[in-house]
Amino acid sequence: MTIKHHLTDHLLMGYAAGNLPEAFNLIVASHVSMCDDCRARLASYEALGGAVLNDTITARADMAPGSLDDCLAKLDDTAQEPRAANDAGSYTLPEPLRAYVGGDHDAIRWKSVGGGVKQAILPTSTSASARLLYIPAGAAVPDHGHRGMELTMVLQGAFSDETDRFGRGDVEIADEDLEHMPIAEPGEDCICLAVTDAPLRFRAWLPRLAQPFLKI
């Protein structure tokens, strides 16, 4: 698996600082679990944040004797075997998303949105929404624009639009300037995780009519 489309530094820094909405945290965690490049960049931002926090601490509390030994002993007691590096290869959903959904793709409760496309809305905070999308091979999502930011991560198959091709692990970042019609590639149905911080803007009247009911 070769990931070509990565998260921006802005998103990784927001995740490290804890400033992103829950839905965006979910897609960042899912992508980072599959992408060595973004995981390394995230680690550098977390280390930088830790150093800044350490420099801002002016008052330090004395620790009780033996506190460090007690802490290390508890870590030893709860230690687990490291997860296999190819663990994600046997699943459709990456580990953070499996934990969120409560299983792999067979645990998803799909609802039709028309044209063979299905979705499953995930419970998140109200500041942004998250949904899983199932797009049959060769099918298209209606042409649409954006009133905010939309992140779409491919979990199975691939899709293409006016900008590029996106395969497993890739994240497409769309904003108000992008209008597109994603089309799933032939051969394998496409499953994606999509998060948005504002409703989409559909051109055709039928998707606009259904939009309030589908919560897109």
CATH number, domain containing residue 129: 2.60.120.10
In a domain, 146, yes or no: yes
In a domain, 144, yes or no: yes
The average pLDDT across 188-213 equals: 74
Q: What is the pTM of this model?
A: 0.78
In a domain, 51, yes or no: no
For 84, the 3-state DSSP assignment is coil
In a domain, 81, yes or no: no
Locate 152 and state its tokens: 């779409």
Residues 184, 140: contact at Cβ < 8 Å?
A: yes
**Runs of H (alpha helix) within 57-172:** 67-78, 95-101
In a domain, 205, yes or no: yes
| Block residue for tokens 């897109």 | 216
Domain enclosing residue 145, as ranges: 92-214
Phi, psi at 115, each rounded to 5°: 70, 20
Place 1 in a pLDDT band, splitting at 50, 70 and 90: confident
Name the domain count of the chain.
Answer: 1
Residues 35, 153: contact at Cβ < 8 Å?
A: no
For 123-153, the pLDDT digits (tens) are: 998 889 999 999 999 999 877 777 889 999 9
Measured at the CA of 30, the angle between CA 26 and CA 31, to 5 degrees, comes to: 120
The average pLDDT across 190-205 equals: 80
| Block residue for tokens 């994240």 | 171
Residues 165, 143: contact at Cβ < 8 Å?
A: no
Place 172 in a pLDDT band, splitting at 50, 70 and 90: very high
In a domain, 60, yes or no: no
